[in-house]
Amino acid sequence: MRADRLNSMEQYILGKENVSLEELSCQFDISMNTVRRDIVELLKRGNVRKVYGGVSSNLVNRPLDFSIREWKNSEAKQIIGQLAASLVSDGSSIFLDSGSTTPNLLRHLGEKNGVTVITHSLTALYEAAKLPNLNIIALGGVYAPSTSSFTGISTLDTLSRLSIQTIFISASGVTLENGLSNNTYLEAEIKRSVVQRGNRVVLMADQSKFGHSAVTTFCSFEQLYAIVTDRMPSAPYLEVIKRHNIKLICPGHQDVLTDGT
């Protein structure tokens, strides 16, 4: 149906930020005339705008809904999730934030035993519930559709009473100067709170997040135990990673990791 195609096309554009008309024609297997007619309808929604040769997102400086973030760099997120699963050992407790990468980690925990998953993400809870081998602790709060998660004082209160071994977090932006930052204030507060409760903080972020800062910083770069990403970071990041003995896991490179290190 055209309505479904329009919704999918809008999510694709918002996830990619800039898309040519030719790319949309190939992606959705439709003619250029059909692409142009669809774009006219999408422009009326106000989330995309015309640029030379294509269309662009109007939401670059605003937090993206979870459904849109799921589309963005999905292949990289699948790689990161699989690599991050190597950091989860039997019998451990882990925290997963509301980032769109965390469900990809859960999909690789089917062979783990006695792992306790703590999360405020509805999407992560849904994925974790598919695996009977996992113990699940859901953090309550007020549901936020834009992040598909629960936030608020009750969320922070529950977190304050839990002991967590490994913390998996995402970020809207990652820089050496400002550390890890997020576009949503309440999410940043949850991330800041949980980071203070563990010594194994693992960043899961593709390279498009590096070199950009969001509104609220919640963790310094030096606090990280490990970084899981889709390709090698640039030289300045590698220098700081080496200086602070941060573990780096990415395709073609994986630090030797042992429990408790």
DSSP state of 132: T
- In this prediction, residue 219 has a pLDDT band, given cuts at 50, 70 and 90, of very high
| Model pLDDT, residue 65 | 55
Please answer whether residues 167 and 94 qualify as being in contact, where contact means their C-beta atoms are separated by less than 8 angstroms: yes
- Give 3-32 as a DSSP string: HHHHHHHHHHHHHHSEEEHHHHHHHHT--H
What tokens does 193 get?
């709170």
Q: Is 223 exposed, middle or buried (0-12, 13-18, 19+ CB in 10 A)?
A: middle
Q: Which residues in the chain belong to E strands, given as ranges?
A: 18-20, 48-51, 54-57, 93-96, 116-119, 135-138, 142-144, 149-151, 166-169, 173-175, 179-182, 201-204, 216-219, 226-228, 247-250, 253-254
Q: Among positive and negative, which fits the CA dihedral 116, 121, 124, 129?
A: positive
HSE of 4 in the Cβ direction (CA atoms, 13 Å)?
Answer: 2
Residue 258 has pLDDT above 70, yes or no: no
For residue 61, what pLDDT band results from cuts at 50, 70 and 90? Answer: very low
If you search the block for the tokens 């640029």, which residue do you land on?
51
* 255 vs 241, residue with greater confidence: 241
- The H helix count followed by the E strand count for the chain is 10, 16
Residue 201: its pLDDT value, please? 97
This prediction's pTM: 0.71
User: In the prediction, which pLDDT does 17 show?
Assistant: 66
Q: How confident is residue 261, by pLDDT bands cut at 50, 70 and 90?
A: very low
